[in-house]
Structure 1
Amino acid sequence: MVNLAEEILRNADTRPEHIAMWSGGNSLSYRELREEVFRTRAVLTGLGAGEGSVLGFGMRDTRQVTIAMLAAWHMGATCNLLDFRLKDEDLQAAVKMFKHTLIVTDRPANLPDGIGMIAQDWTARLAASAPTPAPAANPRAPAMAAVTSGTTGTPAGFETTHEALFARSNSWEGSRISEAYEHYLCMSPIAFGATFGWITNVLRAGGTITCFPPVARPSDVFDVVARQGITGTMMVPTVLRDLIAHARQTGRRLRNERGPIWLVTTGAAITEQELRDVHDLLSPRIIQIYAASPVGPICTMFTEEMDERMKTVGTPARGVIVEIVDENGRAQPQGTIGRIRVLTPGRATNMRGRDGNSGGDHFDGDWYYPGDLGVFDGSGYLTLAGRATEVIIRGGVNVYPQEIEATVLTFAGVREAAAVGFPDKRAGEEIAVFAVTEDGITAESLLAQCRTAFPADKRPSRAVIVSSMPLNANGKIVRGRLRRQLMEARADAK
């Protein structure tokens, strides 16, 4: 089996002076990247790490973390990328799960003796060390260890092999998006699965990565795309919305000297109107990705497919099998909503803290269940119908939040919508819709539109106007918070 770091560092032989990374105005060629990986590997060895060690990196500096990750892979260790914003209890839970040899963080953390180090000390050790060339280890240990965010159920740990990461990278239709790999703008923390995946793909392809602050102003994003000759970037919907607003005000587009860049959307559902806005106001070259951390890409959709199928998430990625099944694992006919399951050589292994009864994503044999519901159309395009745990059962009828939301989003003045269920003695559950709206839209006027838009068994009985939706780091709406908000308001009213 080939070591993934070894393959990436081969670029130091074939294109040594080509820029691998830009960060803070400083460049790093592939030759220099290899030197820094050897330097970092020497430091890790001096700290007692080796083949099979689990090494955690939770720093803000994407370039520094990328080098550390490659060094861990090169020596045959397992890398655990940690969000730099994690609290001590989250870090402690990760240590309990994976038994780290070392964790490097930006700030001091309350960790077991001997395994914690702050980034300042880490940087000092690197400065005092020399790059020591060494052969790449045979990757017997997993390449990655990770913990899910918990938005799909109780947080779970899993491991991913070098072989599985190769399979995920190969699932992309590389010939169609090779230009996106030439110069990639990284705006999200590398601890996010999608960000890590794109960084790996770009470095495998010998491209360039420009690291950019995740909280940059929209105008700065447009500036760096034009100035640096960016060819591709990936953004979650929350960032896209800010860029759309800026583009609408200024008329600017995400383009370099050659034309529009590739824009990848992932992390959370994007509405049909938002997708049209991305196409019309930011760039017509779009890749929409439906993915999950334990398996990587599940479905993809490219610009030319979107006119007729903007409500879908595309077709299965290359080498990935997607099925719709019932609760007993029986395949469902086309047009029937059911549980999504995925079979892919990019699957993670050793998932822990999760099973099929936990209400979240899980493995059952070789199949991965992301916890989502979906339906295939006659052309093999998948439409998501919500989370299996979020189906609203009203009077014995299954109501899928996304079908409610899709209709409410067509109402004039509604910018965002989320539907949740809440207990009701007569119907079992009732439907509430939360909405972010323009001025002048009231809960009463929203319910009035619902009365004409929905049949009685799917009609929301409550409407709540909010200034913003509660979102997780990936831009996904946290429906549990909305449900709690509603229940607390009902309790206060009694």
Structure 2
Amino acid sequence: MNIGSTLTQAAAAHPDHIAVIHGDTRLSYRALNERANRLASQLRAQGIRPGDRVGILQRNGPELLESLFATFKAGAAAVPINARSHPKEYAYILEDSGSRAIVFGEDFAAGLDTVRHTLPDLDLLIGIGAGTGWSMPYEDLLADGDPANADSDCAPHDLAWLFYTSGTTGKPKGAMNCHANLQFMSDHYPREVYRLGPDDVVLHPGPLTHGSGLWSIPITSGAGTHLIPTGTSFDPNEIFELIEKHRVTKIAFIAPTMITMLLNAPDIDRYDLSSLRFLGYGGAPMYVEDLKRAIRQWGPILCQVYGQGESPMTVSLLTREDHTLSGDPRTERRLASAGRVREDIELAILDEADQPVKAGEIGEIAIRGDVVMRGYWNKPEATADVFKGGWYHTGDLGTRDADGYVFLLDRKKEMIISGGANVYPRELEEVLLLHPGVLEVAVIGIPDRLWGESVMAVVRPRTGASPTEAELLALCRDHLAGYKKPRFIRFQEDLPKNGYGKILKRELKQTILAETPETAT
């Protein structure tokens, strides 16, 4: 078994089909496979052995896909790093993973130069683009590589992708995804998510180091055309132009924040987006009001996937058929859910004693199945914390209704306990977003000597709007119990996010407490 053979097989079946479009670059499946083979052969020639880790630090582009599949083919484990990381952050990941090689883009040469001397295991540095004097040129390596297929024979549980979590609550941990995990994800994709046809053009607005990269595996298996934007940041107009020009049928995977940016783009109605048949999103819950706007704009083409780096892209699914504005309160309520559990996955909602709760009751979501990671890299205690009683504990709080729909409430660590009562931030955030002047909101708990924690809502208004505290409190009184309404409301122009668009509540809370320590009274 080797998940890199996905590309080998696609090239054999569809050698002349266009695999990648990136600006003026066009690569057929034959060419993409040969370039990946050349890099894989050179990794081996430079001493990379099966099981070694290879860092990938690049912006989206054909070389990222080549690096990913070449690493798989060589039997090594890919360590993709978010392109928005700080040099200290990717130095931590490279050191923690013990990466022996890195394939990096020229944009990262200066940052990497400041930290490479602190990484004794990193002895092979391959640079794309402008030379550095201390790295091996990518294209020169490929020119001398072997284009023939020579995929390493890997065991199902051999490490394939070391997926570093986003680190919203501390240092990122490396989730060990093996070839069998990725094969499970890839095999289930056409059956449950989207079956690609010969005319499918798949746009990757999100980072290929994250969900879009994971889904590049089943998309490659189906011989889809990967359309990769050339911009270095998310630009709604570039996305619209690419959809219209290339008749994009599928947006692979983007964060809810990106969907909101598309919806808020002033030029959205200037473009012909009628070719779109599928838009995949996930990584964070999408608020219902934004989701309804998206359905009204594009129709029932959206599909939400709930998964984690620890269970790559595969826990539950809110299908395109579920994304409907039927007017039936029962079916529209499902828009607040993460859908139903995927095939061949077991899911339980467990209480503090690890016992199943009744339908509708709140507990921690736990799963088991062949998609679940092997554990955290070099962190046996953290692994033991999440694997208990034969279940992987996700850290997400939620409920499941009688129809099997799973509703995410919050991360277990983000639940607020005020005066002994549980307050779930997402529930309050959904209500505050009903105000037309609210663009984004983050609800956090602030230390309180009397109540333990008090509820604070940090609100980012829409451009030109000025929601007032009185209006927002009145909205809360209309929809929620009194103890759930915020004690503090703070307005600010932006909210801190990680490279994948998730709001960094931990960082936000630290900043607020540092600026206004009197808040914690």
Q: Show the counterpart of 1:277.
A: 293
Contact map agreement 1:261 1:283 (CA 8 A) in 2: no
SS at match of 1:305: coil
Matched, 1:323 2:338: no
SS at match of 1:386: strand
Q: CA deviation at 1:32?
A: 1.2
Q: Show the counterpart of 1:10.
A: 9
Query: C-alpha separation between the residues in 2 aligned to 1:3 and 1:247?
Result: 45
Matched, 1:209 2:226: yes
Pick from 211, 216, 220: which aligns with 1:199? 216
Contact map agreement 2:460 2:495 (CA 8 A) in 1: yes
Contact map agreement 1:179 1:232 (CA 8 A) in 2: no
The 1:361–1:464 alpha-carbon spacing in structure 2 relative to 1, beyond 3 Å, is farther
Matched, 1:303 2:311: no
Pick from 178, 181, 202: which aligns with 1:184? 202
* More displaced stretch, 279-288 vs 397-406: 279-288
Q: Show the counterpart of 2:496.
A: 470
Contact map agreement 1:78 1:144 (CA 8 A) in 2: yes
Q: CA deviation at 1:448?
A: 4.1
Contact map agreement 1:361 1:371 (CA 8 A) in 2: no
Taking the TM superposition and a 5 Å limit, the aligned residue runs for 1:130-279 are 130-140=145-155, 141-174=158-191, 177-179=194-196, 182-192=200-210, 194-212=211-229, 213=231, 215-233=233-251, 234-246=253-265, 250=269, 252=271, 254-256=273-275, 260-279=276-295
Query: C-alpha separation between the residues in 2 aligned to 1:460 and 1:229?
Result: 46
Q: Show the counterpart of 2:361.
A: 336
The 1:488–1:68 alpha-carbon spacing in structure 2 relative to 1, beyond 3 Å, is closer
Q: Show the counterpart of 1:65.
A: 64
Query: C-alpha separation between the residues in 2 aligned to 1:474 and 1:216?
Result: 11
Q: CA deviation at 1:388?
A: 0.7
User: TM-score scaled by structure 2?
Assistant: 0.87
Taking the TM superposition and a 5 Å limit, the aligned residue runs for 1:301-450 are 301-307=318-324, 308=331, 309-352=334-377, 362-364=386-388, 366-438=390-462, 439-450=465-476
Q: Deviations over 1:46-97 (max 9, x none)?
A: 3111322221121224311211221222222222112233333333322333
Matched, 1:461 2:487: yes
Contact map agreement 1:154 1:354 (CA 8 A) in 2: no
Query: C-alpha separation between the residues in 2 aligned to 1:248 and 1:132?
Result: 45
Divergent runs of 4+, >6 A:
355-358
Query: C-alpha separation between the residues in 2 aligned to 1:357 and 1:57?
Result: 25
The 1:355–1:78 alpha-carbon spacing in structure 2 relative to 1, beyond 3 Å, is closer
Q: Deviations over 1:172-208 (max 9, x none)?
A: 353762148822111222111x111111111011111
Q: CA deviation at 1:102?
A: 0.9
> 5+ residue gaps in structure 1?
none
The 1:40–1:278 alpha-carbon spacing in structure 2 relative to 1, beyond 3 Å, is same
Question: Structure 2: which amino acid aligns with 1:375?
Answer: T
Query: C-alpha separation between the residues in 1 aligned to 2:385 and 2:284?
Result: 16
Contact map agreement 1:338 1:375 (CA 8 A) in 2: yes
- How many residues are aligned here? 488
Q: CA deviation at 1:341?
A: 0.8
The 1:32–1:431 alpha-carbon spacing in structure 2 relative to 1, beyond 3 Å, is same
SS at match of 2:181: helix
Question: Structure 2: which amino acid aligns with 1:129?
Answer: D
User: TM-score scaled by structure 1?
Assistant: 0.91
Contact map agreement 2:418 2:451 (CA 8 A) in 1: yes
Query: C-alpha separation between the residues in 1 aligned to 2:139 and 2:225?
Result: 27
* More displaced stretch, 36-45 vs 112-121: 112-121
Question: Structure 1: which amino acid aligns with 2:458?
Answer: F
> 5+ residue gaps in structure 2?
130-135, 325-330
Query: C-alpha separation between the residues in 2 aligned to 1:54 and 1:37?
Result: 17
Contact map agreement 2:175 2:374 (CA 8 A) in 1: yes
The 1:189–1:462 alpha-carbon spacing in structure 2 relative to 1, beyond 3 Å, is same
* More displaced stretch, 244-253 vs 25-34: 244-253
Taking the TM superposition and a 5 Å limit, the aligned residue runs for 1:98-137 are 98-106=97-105, 107-108=109-110, 109=112, 110-111=115-116, 112=119, 114-120=123-129, 121-137=136-152
Alpha-carbon RMSD across the aligned residues, in angstroms, is 2.5
Identity of aligned residues (%): 24
